[in-house]
Amino acid sequence: MNYVVLILGMALITWLVRTAVFVLGERLVFPPLVRTALGFVPVTVLTAIIVPMAVSPHGQGAELSWRNPQLVGALAAVVVSALTKRPLLTIAVGLGVFFLWQGVVLR
Amino acid sequence: MRAAARYAVFPYQEDSLTTHPNPHPRPNPRRYAEFVAGARDTIPMMVGAAPFGVIFGTLVTSGPLSLWHGQFMSLAVFAGSAQFIALGLIASHASFAVIWATTLIVNLRHVLYSATLAPYVSHLPLRWRLVLGALLTDEVFAVAWAHFRRHPPGDDVSPWHFLGSGLAMYLNWQLWTAVGLLFGAAFPGLQSLGLDFAMVATFIAIVVPQLVALRYLAAAVTAGALAFFWQGWPYKLGLLGAVLAGVVVGVVLSRPGSPRGASATGQSPCKPPNVQRTAGAGQ
């Protein structure tokens, strides 16, 4: 029940954001500063989510060591993505390194 | 496909009831052809989104949400990155207010998309605009913009291509979400493997190609570092604070006087925003 409320709220917010300009038309004008700020939203939000998950996967301080499979897998994914810009290859290599590290190297 | 045909009829009937002057001068077969062409132009995007739908569905089964919650979220929200982020926040016991605020922030980029497409839909009846807006994901924007830009804005631009693209993407997202849900339910041991790392890898695949200039890198590093240090803030508010700080850093570096950002604010308002070049999770 509670999660239904959560999901309905997310749906309403998403729909309002997507339709606002279509409905309001020219009455909604974005100053250049706002447009610039919006351009930085995707990279900042996603990075803010990734870093804590990779650096402190257990939520108890930084685990900056080679024994942290999340961190090793994430670094591998960053390298692959920077070199190839191919999303599926990035995910495949990242997951592969992560599972290999967790299941084989640290065993 | 039956569902697609049924939904496609709905806005058409609205049109025929409205007194709007000549909203669709094109004959019926032309509408159908444009609808199909829109869906066909979206096929590469649908293929790209498929793995993200599967990963999303699988992740749902490793969290507190039930299967139908997961499908309901895809049906109602239809925004891949917001859905992924919500799963992560739910798992870490964030408050609903923080999840909603994050949904708002993550989806704000769609405002840029609808502002770009607005000249091509402003002549349509309200029902049409509400439906097309609901379907406006990153991928659908890319397809619709590529189609519209070949025509001058005006009353003779048909929305059927846009609708075909949006509905194709929508049905595709539902299908692969369901596949992921069933996959995760069939192999319940997946969660103990640390499958949430799939989300980290997915986001890295989206973010890294976008770090094309120093200002983007600086914004991302700021947000990532502060999100780590501010993890202890209640209700995950540290996440929002870190995002805000990262955006401020990006905006400051984009000012014309700054060494690297001269071109950033010089954007013409007519220029389309950059679409996230990654399928699925960018929805």
Tell me, rounded to whole angstroms, the distance of Cα B69 from its chain centroid: 19
Residues 6+ apart with CB under 8 A from B150: none
Of A32, A48, A70, the CB nearest to B243: A48
Question: Can you give the pLDDT at residue B18?
Answer: 41
Instruction: Assign B123 a pLDDT band (cuts: 50, 70, 90).
Output: confident
Residue of A79, A20, A45, A103 lying closest to B189 (CA atoms): A103
Over the stretch B256-277, which tens digit does the pLDDT of each residue have?
776 544 444 434 344 445 554 4
Residues B255 and B265 sit within 8 Å (Cβ to Cβ): yes
Question: Can you give the pLDDT at residue B190?
Answer: 65
Q: Which helix (H) or strand (E) holds A27?
A: none
Domain borders along chain B are 2-189
Instruction: Assign B15 a pLDDT band (cuts: 50, 70, 90).
Output: very low
Over the stretch A44-100, which tens digit does the pLDDT of each residue have?
888 998 899 899 887 778 888 889 999 999 999 999 999 998 878 998 899 899 999
Question: Can you give the pLDDT at residue B193?
Answer: 64
Q: Name every chain A residue with its beta carbon within 8 A of the beta carbon of B250.
A: 36-37, 39-40, 44
Tell me how far apart the 2 most distant CA atoms of chain A are, in Å.
Answer: 61
Distance from CA of A63 to the nearest CA of B (A): 12
Over the stretch A3-41, which tens digit does the pLDDT of each residue have?
999 999 999 999 999 999 899 876 667 788 887 887 888
Question: Can you give the pLDDT at residue B235?
Answer: 65
Question: Can you give the pLDDT at residue B266?
Answer: 38
Residues B272 and A39 sit within 8 Å (Cβ to Cβ): no
pLDDT higher than 80, residue B156: no
Tell me, rounded to whole angstroms, the distance of Cα A96 from its chain centroid: 19
Q: How far is CA B215 from CA A85, B3, B11, B62, B212, in A?
A: 19, 45, 43, 36, 9
Neighbouring CB atoms inside 10 A of B13's CB total 10
Q: Rounded distance, CA B283 to CA B281, Å? A: 5
C-alpha dihedral over A29, B249, B244, B240, to 10 degrees? 140
Of A11, A33, A102, the CB nearest to B76: A11
Question: Can you give the pLDDT at residue B177?
Answer: 97
* Mean pLDDT of the B81-88 span: 89
Residues B156 and B119 sit within 8 Å (Cβ to Cβ): no
Of A25, A44, A95, the CB nearest to B246: A44
Q: Rounded distance, CA B182 to CA B191, Å? A: 14
Instruction: Assign A105 a pLDDT band (cuts: 50, 70, 90).
Output: confident
Residues 6+ apart with CB under 8 A from B144: B38, B117, B120, B136, B161, B162, B165, B166
Question: Can you give the pLDDT at residue B1?
Answer: 37
pLDDT higher than 90, residue B226: yes
Question: Can you give the pLDDT at residue B265?
Answer: 40
- Distance spanning both ends of chain A, measured CA to CA: 42
Domain borders along chain A are 1-30, 43-105
* Contact check, Cβ <8 Å, B193/A43: no
* Contact check, Cβ <8 Å, A87/B72: no
What is the ipTM metric for this complex? 0.86
Q: Rounded distance, CA B89 to CA A1, Å? A: 18
Question: Can you give the pLDDT at residue B254?
Answer: 92
